[in-house]
Amino acid sequence: MNELSLEEGLAFQRELATRSKTRLKLQISVGALLAIVCGSHVLAGVLDGDLTSKGLSMFGLAIGLYVAAHYSALLLAKRSMQG
């Protein structure tokens, strides 16, 4: 993995400091909710044997999981900076 330069690290810390924990937690919840809803549609498609029509739901599931993981990592980084 590439290491951040000193300037990039300071820019990341400044940007992370402007984000509140509450907002990060809300964004994690939104990603998780999107993943749950889309995941249920994908599961229904699997059970019905009609997965080909669930392309948008699979895309939503992937986006929801990405959003939840991304903001979870940012929240962990924020906590490690403070503690």
Rounded average pLDDT over 42-68: 89
Handedness of CA 22, 79, 65, 9 (dihedral sign): positive
The answer on pLDDT for 1 being more than 80 is: no
Q: Judging by beta carbons within 10 Å of its beta carbon (0-12, 13-18, 19+), is residue 24 exposed, middle or buried? A: buried
- CB burial of 61-81 (b: ≥16 within 10 Å; e: otherwise) equals beebbebbeebbebbeebeee
The answer on pLDDT for 56 being more than 60 is: yes
Q: Where are the domains of the chain?
A: 21-82
Cβ atoms within 10 Å, residue 11: 12
Q: How confident is the model at residue 83 (pLDDT cuts 50, 70, 90)?
A: low
Question: Model confidence over 28-41: pLDDT tens digits?
Answer: 999 999 999 999 99
